[in-house]
Amino acid sequence: MSAANPPWARHLAPGLDWRQIDLLAGGSIPAVSARLAAAGPDHPVVHDGGRGWVTRGELADASARVAGRLARAGVRPGDRVLCSAATSASLVEVHLAALRMGAVVVPTNTAYQRAELLHVVQDARPVAAVVDRDDAAGWLAAAAPGLVVVDPAVDLPDGPVPRLDAAAPADPAMICYTSGTTGRPKGAVLSHGNVLASAEAVRLAWRWTSLDRLVLALPLFHVHGLGVGLHGTLVAGGSAVLLPRFDVDGVLDAVAEHRATLFFGVPTMYARLAASERVAGLAALRLCVSGSAPLSPELHARIAAGCGQVVLERYGMTETLMLVSNPYDGERRAGTVGFPLPGVELALGADGEIRVRGPNVFAGYWERPDATADSFDDGWFRTGDVGRIDDGYLRIVGRAKELIISGGFNVYPREVEDVLLTHPGVVEVAVVGLPSEEWGETVAAFVVPVVGRAPDPAELIAFARARLAHFKCPRQVRLVDSLPRNALGKILRDQIVGP
């Protein structure tokens, strides 16, 4: 490999010339999917436990039909369509339908409670919402009169099929809400080019082909399951076994029954698989990938010892999708996330902050020009993560911000603190992430109670669970006399659990 080759050329299969790689050649994911469906309509694409296999041709027909229904209900190109439902073939059809007709998908966590969901609705102003919870449908109907609320079957009258698969790479495809360390969640606007470039990059790097079959137990409201698992499957022309939730036996049964070749998961999933007596079942796979939170070297070694799989760890963000990956060929170095994926440029700032640019990197936040400007520096997106590069491999050593990642989900402390402060027995609170092999980090709350009225920690955990999505709720609550602060009154989070 010559010095002129970019670092990401290391990911390419032998014989591929990096100068011939065009990540945007397909135009868009729906356009690529449509071409594959026309060429091989009988090829299976997604498996739903209730429906069995859905072929490329069936998915193309169903997504066109749903697009016609949404168009008749008033959805137009550029309009937002909120999707918050359990993984299913029907949800895949809705997602693809919206992308094909030029609408913008707003994937939303199914665990969101009323205030969390309504914030997304008020901010993104969707024209339609696809939900599978009666309570959520009720909240939405009451809060947003005129919003078309349907379940994933989209049981609406058929209508003329609108123009499909015409979106340009620069057109918005999704608005994915991401948690920061302060303020309310903000929407990262991902273009059709962004999502295609990321899917193409992992297709090339991980040698993903039409012969591959993925066991997909990740939710489709998260960019790991949606932007990597589903979009990668559609671009590679492969197939995916959809599981509505993660279950060790369910994953291992699917691997065996469907002769799967791929599994993508978060460290929490791998910890539970490693603890299973059936972990050797993973040996049948061609590739296991971990992301969304750090995979400890200890867990990496336990998986290898249990089934022989050397898990490939990678790194990405909502705003950038996939950025860095350990190599498919070559050493998969535990404790690192590898080197840049095709098309990605990466640099470390003077403070070690990871900065990136490339066709996968979003252009900005939805209607948040100030937040957008603060996130870029001369065209480079500032990730907020701090890294170190050793022999070309990137190691994440910390975060410039206070974001907690638990089980692959982002949690920002302020939101949890604001909820706990409404409890009558709480004077002050600081929320931090504590290291966890299973979860990556667990959410912990350090609470200064009202004198003489100290609440029980279990009471505070239950209080939070009634008001927040489960992954945001503290798993530990510790009562303390005071919180460490600096001269300006700012909480010193690094001193809460020790210097």
The rounded percent of the chain whose pLDDT value lies above 70 is 96
Q: Is the confidence at residue 498, as pLDDT, over 70?
A: no
Residues of the chain with CATH 3.30.300.30: 404-495
List pLDDT tens digits, range 224-259. Answer: 999 999 999 999 999 999 999 999 999 999 999 999
**Residue 55 pLDDT class (50, 70, 90 cuts):** very high
**Residue 182 pLDDT class (50, 70, 90 cuts):** very low
Residues of the chain with CATH 3.40.50.12780: 7-398
Residue-level pLDDT at 490: 61
Pairwise CA distance, residues 482 & 318, whole Å:
35
As its CATH architecture, domain 404-495 has 2-Layer Sandwich (3.30)
User: Which one has a higher pLDDT value, 492 or 427?
Assistant: 427
In this predicted structure, which of 174-183, 264-273, 395-404 has the lowest mean pLDDT?
Answer: 174-183
Residue-level pLDDT at 464: 95
User: Which one has a higher pLDDT value, 354 or 492?
Assistant: 354
Q: What is the pTM of this model?
A: 0.85
CATH 3.40.50.12780 for domain 7-398: yes
Residue-level pLDDT at 486: 57
> What is the average pLDDT score of the chain?
93
Pairwise CA distance, residues 327 & 305, whole Å:
20
Q: Is the confidence at residue 284, as pLDDT, over 50?
A: yes
Pairwise CA distance, residues 252 & 274, whole Å:
12
Sort strands 80-84 and 104-107 into parallel, antiparallel or unpaired.
parallel
**Residue 150 pLDDT class (50, 70, 90 cuts):** very high
Q: Is the confidence at residue 481, as pLDDT, over 80?
A: yes
Q: Is the confidence at residue 403, as pLDDT, over 80?
A: no
Pairwise CA distance, residues 84 & 118, whole Å:
12
